[in-house]
Amino acid sequence: MFTARTPAAGYLGFPVMRGFFTVAGRRLSYLDFGGSGAPLLALHGHYNEASAFAPLAAALAPRWRVIALDQRGHGASDRPESYERDDYVADVAAFHRHLGFGSVPMLGHSLGGVNAYQYASRHPGRLTALIVEDIGAVVDCDSSFTTSLPRHAPSRDALASALDATAPYLECAFRQSEDGWGFSFDIDDTVVSQKALDGDHWTDWESVACPTLLIRGTRSGELTAAHAREMIARRPGRARLVELPAGHVVHHDAEAEFAAVVSTFLSER
């Protein structure tokens, strides 16, 4: 395993650092938004990458230093041959180990939320707190949106136009190539990853020991109110639910409110 750290675009008055490390011959990338605050590790969802957490990093600074992983097949990280549950959890463990921190809080959205609570379950004592954004303990992904995504567009504007109202949620993953504009993730790989995410994960959710905040968007099409309440009921005294006026990507739709509830929860630890 090795690391390389290079400055990315400046942010919050200090440079954002892009780091790389290698696990089993694969290179993974991450963004360290910097500062002297306590570390908060962050895991994005499908269609996104580490840079999606830039606004949250700004809102939580200087108390918290957000460090976000480009998960396998996303952003600047390599595309692997497998997207199984154990693969993602092993990547999170390697990320945490690479950074050299002791126990830390972790936040995960959607795909990243499952990865985060499965990591917490399978590596007890490694997290001081867990924040899960809009994903359940039972997952049944609908890949129809994924398969409908444009594979190439002649310009950035054309890609955004093809995506219409969903463009703001994916724009951090826009990339230019010789074929025009597309994404930093592979569409077919995403379908495979979504299928591997499907399933009953109650055992992992129920065995998480650290304090947990579950954040649900009231307009979410991924996590119903009933399922979210059952998740809290199955972990009495160890998990709480906050619902915000948002869709599935709560940190985007209710940016300020999301940052506020995250900050409050973390400050209680």
For 63-87, write each residue's pLDDT tens digit: 999 999 999 999 999 999 999 999 9
Tracing tokens 């390599």 back to the chain, one arrives at 78
Spatial distance between the Cα atoms of 91 and 97, rounded to a whole number of angstroms: 10
In this prediction, residues 91-114 reach a mean pLDDT of 98
Query: Strand (E) positions, the chain?
Result: 3-11, 14-23, 26-32, 38-43, 64-70, 104-109, 127-133, 138-139, 174-177, 180-183, 199-200, 212-217, 239-244
**10 Å Cβ neighbour count for 158?**
14
| pLDDT digits 0-9 by tens, 171-230 | 999 999 998 999 999 999 999 999 999 999 999 999 999 999 999 999 999 999 999 999
Tell me what percent of the residues of the chain surpass a pLDDT of 90.
Answer: 93
Cα separation, 269 vs 133, whole angstroms: 18
Average pLDDT over residues 225-253: 98
Match 């059952």 to its residue by tokens: 230
| Number of other CB atoms surrounding residue 75 within 10 Å | 25
Question: For position 12, what pLDDT does the model report?
Answer: 53
Per-residue model confidence (pLDDT) at position 24: 87
pLDDT in tens, 39-66: 999 999 999 999 999 999 999 999 999 9
CA distance 215 to 117: 13
> Does residue 242 have a pLDDT over 50?
yes
Complete domains list, the chain, with CATH: 3-137+201-267 (3.40.50.1820)
* Contact partners, residue 167, CB within 8 Å, separation at least 6: 159, 160, 161
Give burial (CB, 10 Å; 0-12/13-18/19+) of 199.
Answer: middle
